[in-house]
Chain A
Amino acid sequence: AQSVTQPDIHITVSEGASLELRCNYSYGATPYLFWYVQSPGQGLQLLLKYFSGDTLVQGIKGFEAEFKRSQSSFNLRKPSVHWSDAAEYFCAVGRGSGTYKYIFGTGTRLKVLA
């Protein structure tokens, strides 16, 4: 069955520190991969996506993610975190061929210390 695992429920980092949020997926074919961010009480904002090609993708707000097929991972990174990055981050997998739904992980809540 298709699934997405985000092993870290909560992560706390100091402002200015680097960040890596983990995402592992289980999917039969090469998936389409996404990272979304959600502020409290709000909808989801797309940070970045991977469909094919270069395995290192750049997104908005200084985020990047790397697709590693051998590890079934798509980890999100940021070199220097800002206080405004505090939010919940969701990894999602999706693929065409009959179904267009996304499967989401349970999310990682990021807290940023001043």
Chain B
Amino acid sequence: DTGVSQNPRHKITKRGQNVTFRCDPISEHNRLYWYRQTLGQGPEFLTYFQNEAQLEKSRLLSDRFSAERPKGSFSTLEIQRTEQGDSAMYLCASSATSGGAETQYFGPGTRLLVL
């Protein structure tokens, strides 16, 4: 059983640069989530997709952030004009719809450091 995978695992960039992260969910899962985790905190919800539709976005997702899931399979999260405050672990999770009682399975995360 292949779990959720994320690439890259680590990214170091300079302030002002754009970065893109990829998430490949568990193959039969139709929901995909992005969370952000800063040091010493729990994960905070950013956005989620059901198939290719982006159904909910957090206020944390500023205009510099954009997420896509073009074919309802993998997803990308892009941050434009990165800021030092964007340094965090970005976690992806996926789940299968099951009438409400579903479980999210998380990937290993992408750790971003903005210099």
Contact with B along A92-114 (1 / 0, CB 8 A): 10111101111111110000000
Contact with B along A40-75 (1 / 0, CB 8 A): 011111100101100000000000000000000000
B25 interfacial by beta-carbon distance below 8 Å = no
A25 interfacial by beta-carbon distance below 8 Å = no
Point out residues on B near A: beta carbons under 8 Å: 4, 6, 31, 33, 35, 40-45, 48, 56, 58, 91, 93, 95, 99-109, 111
Query: How far apart are A18's CB and chain B's nearest CB, in angstroms?
Result: 24
Q: Are B56 and A99 in contact (CB under 8 A)?
A: yes
| A interface residue count range (under 10 / 10 to 19 / 20 to 34 / 35 or more) | 20 to 34
Given contacts A32-B101, A44-B91, contact A104 B48 (CB under 8 A): no
Bound-complex Cα distance A83 to B40 (A): 22
Bound-complex Cα distance A92 to B95 (A): 15
A-B residue pairs in contact (CB < 8 Å), sample of 25:
A41-B111, A42-B108, A42-B109, A43-B4, A43-B6, A43-B91, A43-B106, A43-B107, A44-B106, A45-B106, A49-B103, A52-B101, A90-B42, A95-B100, A96-B99, A96-B100, A100-B31, A101-B33, A102-B33, A102-B35, A104-B42, A104-B43, A105-B42, A106-B40, A106-B41
